[in-house]
Each structure stands twice: as structure tokens, then as C-alpha cells.
Structure 1
Amino acid sequence: MSEQTQPATLSANLALPINQWQGALMVQNFSSHTLQAYKLAVTHLAQFLERQSLTKTLNWAQCDKRLLSRHISNRLEVDALSIASVQQELSAIRQFYAYLIEQGQAKINPTTGYQLKQPARALPNIADIDVLTQLLEQPLPEDPEQARLWIRDKAMFELLYGSGLRVSELVAIDVTDIDVSQKQVRVVGKGNKTRIVPMTQKSIQAIEMYLPHRYLWVEQADMALFISEKLGTRLSTRAVQQRLKVCAKRAGIAQNLHPHLLRHCFASHMLSGSGDLRAVQEMLGHSDISTTQIYTQVDFERLTQIYDNSHPRSRMAAKQTKDKRY
């Protein structure tokens, strides 16, 4: 990334408003780090405008959305800034133009409605059903203490995968949130929003097997469903993460398993089996369906892999491509 400093040749028409803006920000108690970052961001734009040699009396009002777009492209492609860094520069430019408009030095903010194209969102990792079966159907440990812990842990993992819960939602569940007769659990998600989620029969069986141990461990009348055997109080999210790694290792699973991966698996497997995006969105507690739609991409990517490995014409094409290399 090239870092440029404000040159001595920067015209007064461009430099003076920057300095005036900086003075206004100082009165508002902005940190020195923020002031420097803001000034540098706007200075980069000023340098770009001067290189365009628009007119001899260049001023900030001459920068339109087209020029801003060219400047941003230059920052991304030539200066190799990250999307996040350019987004921060855009924020500074947006505030600078708001100041210029307030001072009567510009009429239009070129950043209005301008949006950076965000990079493609990384697809979540998914474990095969065989891996989850290997985890959830592992035999009871011979050691009595480990056996008791596994009974609790299995109930947690069955619920995480079976109902697609976030680990924060799992540890927040109270005993009274479980309705075995209706096969459902009440969870509190992001934004303190409550939703009712169905439970699998496997989850119910695992919880019913765990409850007698819970009642022996619980201290101080804690209502938490999942209890620490050692402390007798509600388990932490960190404890759930650690227990999953321990149980995965004991089951001989090489893949890095974490609680959120079980939620990803729930979403992907449910969508693959049902195709009902809205239902999966509701069960996951996503406020925006676009968040749920990423699992359609995961599902399509897996179908593509299956196709490439299974379809005779696809295999033939792959073989011909490989043969040409030698």
C-alpha cells in the first residue's frame, strides 16, 4: 500500500478547507489518531483531484460521484487498500463533505448513495452427517466421571445440532424452557428476541437421560438446564466449546468441531432436505433472509462436488483435462 503525505504544492483551495475542518473536529474532542486518519483520507482525494488537472481554480465542489469512483478504484487497485480501509476513507470523505455543505462551500456530497461492492461472504464450514453421527453415537466412556459428563454433553450437542441453536442460546436455556410434550424449546436470541424451536426425538431422549444428573449437581436453585458438575451452576459458552473439542477427539474426529459448526450443519442439512428457506430462517432466528440464503450456496457447492465426482460425463471431462497435462 502506498502512503502519500500532503505535498507542499496542494492548492490553497483544497488545503484550506481541510485545515478548517480539522479545527472544527478538534473542538469536538476527536482523538489525535482519528484526526490524522481523517486528514490523510481527504488529502489522498485532494491529491487525486489535482492530478486530474481539471481547472486552474480547482475546488472541492468540482468533485462528483464519477471522480470519487475513479479515486476509490485507484485506492483499491493501485494502492492495494483493503475494502475495510477504503470504507473508512469513504466515511471520512462523507463527513468532510457534510462540513463543506454546512459551510456553503459545496452543494452536493459525492458520497451520497455511493456503496463499495463487498467481497463475497465466505461459506461456512459444514461437517458431513457421518461425522456428526460419529460424534453423537460414540460409546459411553468407561470412566464413571467421564460417562456422566458425556450424558450431559450429548444432550447439549443433540440440542445444538437438532434445533440449530447458537451456543449463547444453549447456555441461556432454563429447565422451564423445555416442553417435552410439545417437543419444543423456548430460546432467547439476538436482540433479546424469543422464538420457539422444535426438538428432535434424539434431543428429548438425551435431555431426559441427563436431567437426573442435573438435579444431583445443581447448586443455589439455579434454573439453568445445562449445569457444571464441578460448580453446580450454569455452564459458560467457553465450557461448551471445550467439551465439544474433548468429545470430538475422543470419537476420533480430525475435523475442527465448534458449536457454531453444529448450527451450520443444522441449517445446511435442513435446507437440503426440505428446501424451505423461510422455515429454516425462522428456526435459526435470522431477521434477514439473506443471512439464511448463504446455506443455499453451501448446498449447491456440495451438489457440484457430488456431480463432479459422480456423473460419468463430468468424470470423463476431468480425466481428459488431467491427461492433457502429461
Structure 2
Amino acid sequence: MDAQQLRAAYRGRVGNGSAAGGDAVVDAFARHLSLQRGLSAHTVRAYVQDVTSLLARLGDTGTDLASLDLTGLRAWLADQQRRGMSRATLARRAAAVRTFCAWAYRAGHLDVDVGARLRSPRPDRHLPVVLGVEDAAHLLKVAEERADDGDALHVRDWAALELLYATGVRVSELVGIDVGDVDLAERTVRVTGKGDKERVVPFGIPAARALSTWLDRGRGRLVSATTGAALFLGARGGRLDPRTLRGMLHRLTAVAGVHDLAPHGLRHSAATHLLAGGSDLRTVQEVLGHASLATTQRYTHVTPERLRAAYTQAHPRA
């Protein structure tokens, strides 16, 4: 169920009076996340859905918000685990509930911050599939050759993949780029990441060439009366949808004969190749837009070749 359906279920279970109050609390929490915390719309939706799921369970047990306790929170998470939720999802839901309880306590909806001692399950250390340098180059070569037919959508796909790999940006950041955010002379692009934080990321000559081709010979053919400032456009002239980009990448990896991967895998490939090329973690952190270096350390991994090279160079008995 989505957040709206969960809210309806919550209203049906706890009665009209409590429902209005619960709905108002969730709405106020959503405004807090968006306006005061500056979280992305995606994160706000996820947190609201998690909290509404919790409130729906309270309705099932005949409990109101004021009587929520740590035992109830743990029981809710345990129920999610029995339903087969992944560790990553459980960790996010625990974080959402901790955030909600801390806010509800400060706002006077709870007498005690009951979520302060709620521990998150450790997420699985699963790394997405990454491409080797040669496979990444081959994928982009296939995209370029496909764009040689002059089809505007094929030119767009080539430019989008070149920029995605060159910068390591998130797919949501890529589709949010406007034409004015790109500086071809300096070969930099301004992106807006999580929490509406802006950063400037450099890109190389291949991406600049693909972008120039797209701007000169592709984008203009997709522009419509409703087109705004978006850099990458869909077939109808609107801003490119992330799902379209994901589907295109899956198809191109099959054509290229390389590992199937999502845009996040291409982002991870870019980070891995930066590290393998000698970049330090701080630089990768800035490029990827991570608020914490610890996130970058979890996100990246050391390739066996780089580990062997570092060992050979540094160890006296190598």
C-alpha cells in the first residue's frame, strides 16, 4: 500500500476522531521533513509511508500514539522482518521511526522519545554490479555508434550515459539538470543532490563531445510547447523520466554484451574507477555528493588490483 492507502486504513481502524488527529500529525511531520530538514521529496514520501504503516498497526492493536513505547516499535519491526523485508528496508524504517519519535517528542505529541533506543538492523554489505574500465568504454562506444543514425533519442541516450559515467551523479540528479547548469567551456555541471544541496562536478572530453552533439543536433528536435529548461528530454518534450533512462541502460547493456546494471551501478563503476586511478576518498566523496565520508567508504570498495599494487609499493617484504 502507498502512504495514502495506509492513511485510509489508519482512519478506518482508529475511528474518526483519532484519524483526524493522526492524519494531522503525519502531515505536520511531512512538513517538518520537507521544510525544516530539507529532505528530498523521495525521502519524505518514504518516511511518511513508514510512519503511516506504524500508525496503521497502532490502529490494529487499539493503541493510540500517546501509549507508543519501545516494545511496540520493536514488535512492529519484527513483524516487518517476518514479512520478508530486507535489512536495508528495515534499517530505513527504523531510521524513519526514530526521526518521527524525536520530532513528536519535541512537538509535544509524546511524553518520552521512545525511539531513541531503537536499534537498526545492520544492512547487508551488498555491492552493486560494476563494470570494468574496458566494459564501460565498450558500453559507451555502443551508445555512440547507435547515435550515429541521427535519431534524437539515441543521441540523448549517448549523452546521458556519457555524463552519468563521467560524473557519477545519481539518476535523479541527472534528470534534474537544466541546460543552464552545464558549462561546456569549463567542462563542469551543477547538480542538486539530497537535501537540495548543490555541487559542481567536472566531466571529461568524451562527455563534452556527446553533450555538444545532443545540444546542437538532438535536443531541439524534441522540444515542445511545454518544454522547460531541462537538459535531457523525453520523447514528448518533457523532462526525461528516470524509468526511461533505467530501461534504456538495461537494453544497451544487453546489446553491448556487458553485465546488466542500473544507473546506480554505473555510478558505482565511476567511483570504483576513480579510486583505481589514484583518486582519494575525499575527492570521491565530493564527486558523489556524500555528506559523510563513512558513506563513501561503504559505497566504494578496493579492487584486488589496486590492493596488490599498494601492497607491492608499500610493504618492505613485498
TM range (shorter): 0.5 to 0.7
User: CA separation in 1, counterparts of 2:255 and 2:210?
Assistant: 19
Q: TM-score normalised to the size of structure 2?
A: 0.60
User: CA separation in 2, counterparts of 1:133 and 1:260?
Assistant: 17
CA contact (8 A) 1:185 1:198 kept: yes
**Amino acid corresponding to residue 204 of structure 2 in structure 1:** T
Match of 1:227 in 2: 233
Match of 2:254 in 1: 249
With over 3 angstroms needed to count, the CA separation of the structure-2 counterparts of 1:206 and 1:109, relative to structure 1, is closer
Residue 120 of structure 1 and its aligned partner are, at CA, apart by 4.1
Q: How does 1:201-216 map to 2 (within 5 A)?
A: 201-213=205-217, 214-216=219-221
Q: How does 1:141-160 map to 2 (within 5 A)?
A: 141=146, 144=149, 146=151, 148-160=152-164
Match of 1:33 in 2: 57
RMSD: 4.2
How many positions carry a matched residue from both structures? 236
Within the candidate set 289, 298, 317, 1:285 is matched to: 289
**Amino acid corresponding to residue 145 of structure 2 in structure 1:** L
With over 3 angstroms needed to count, the CA separation of the structure-2 counterparts of 1:152 and 1:114, relative to structure 1, is closer
SS of the equivalent of 1:140 reads: helix
Within the candidate set 91, 109, 119, 1:115 is matched to: 119
User: CA separation in 1, counterparts of 2:174 and 2:114?
Assistant: 46
Match of 1:217 in 2: 222
Residue 304 of structure 1 and its aligned partner are, at CA, apart by 7.8
**Amino acid corresponding to residue 247 of structure 1 in structure 2:** L
Q: Tell me the alpha carbon deviations over residues 145-186 of structure 1, each in whole angstroms, 9 at most, x when there is no partner.
A: 65x433221111010010011111111111111111111001
- Return 5+ residue gaps in structure 2 as ranges: 1-13, 23-54, 64-68, 313-318
Residue 203 of structure 1 and its aligned partner are, at CA, apart by 0.5
With over 3 angstroms needed to count, the CA separation of the structure-2 counterparts of 1:173 and 1:34, relative to structure 1, is same
1:136 aligns with 2:160: no
User: CA separation in 2, counterparts of 1:166 and 1:304?
Assistant: 26
Residue 110 of structure 1 and its aligned partner are, at CA, apart by 9.9
User: CA separation in 2, counterparts of 1:32 and 1:215?
Assistant: 49
User: CA separation in 1, counterparts of 2:272 and 2:15?
Assistant: 48
Residue 128 of structure 1 and its aligned partner are, at CA, apart by 1.3
Match of 2:243 in 1: 238
CA contact (8 A) 2:190 2:198 kept: yes
With over 3 angstroms needed to count, the CA separation of the structure-2 counterparts of 1:113 and 1:205, relative to structure 1, is same
SS of the equivalent of 2:224 reads: coil
User: CA separation in 1, counterparts of 2:231 and 2:287?
Assistant: 20
Match of 1:175 in 2: 179
CA contact (8 A) 1:184 1:198 kept: yes
User: CA separation in 1, counterparts of 2:148 and 2:184?
Assistant: 30
Q: Tell me the alpha carbon deviations over residues 108-159 of structure 1, each in whole angstroms, 9 at most, x when there is no partner.
A: 999864635524432232111122111111262498365x433221111010
Quote the sequence identity (%).
32
With over 3 angstroms needed to count, the CA separation of the structure-2 counterparts of 1:112 and 1:164, relative to structure 1, is closer
Q: TM-score normalised to the size of structure 1?
A: 0.59
Residue 28 of structure 1 and its aligned partner are, at CA, apart by 5.0
User: CA separation in 2, counterparts of 1:211 and 1:133?
Assistant: 22
SS of the equivalent of 1:274 reads: coil
Match of 2:170 in 1: 166
**Amino acid corresponding to residue 231 of structure 1 in structure 2:** R
User: CA separation in 2, counterparts of 1:233 and 1:119?
Assistant: 37
Q: How does 1:300-319 map to 2 (within 5 A)?
A: 302-303=303-304
With over 3 angstroms needed to count, the CA separation of the structure-2 counterparts of 1:303 and 1:232, relative to structure 1, is same
Residue 37 of structure 1 and its aligned partner are, at CA, apart by 5.5
User: CA separation in 1, counterparts of 2:130 and 2:207?
Assistant: 20
Residue 232 of structure 1 and its aligned partner are, at CA, apart by 2.5
Q: How does 1:262-281 map to 2 (within 5 A)?
A: 262-281=266-285
Match of 2:129 in 1: 125
CA contact (8 A) 1:268 1:295 kept: no
SS of the equivalent of 1:165 reads: coil
- Return 5+ residue gaps in structure 1 as ranges: 1-23, 40-44, 46-64, 103-107, 312-326
SS of the equivalent of 1:225 reads: coil
User: CA separation in 2, counterparts of 1:187 and 1:154?
Assistant: 19
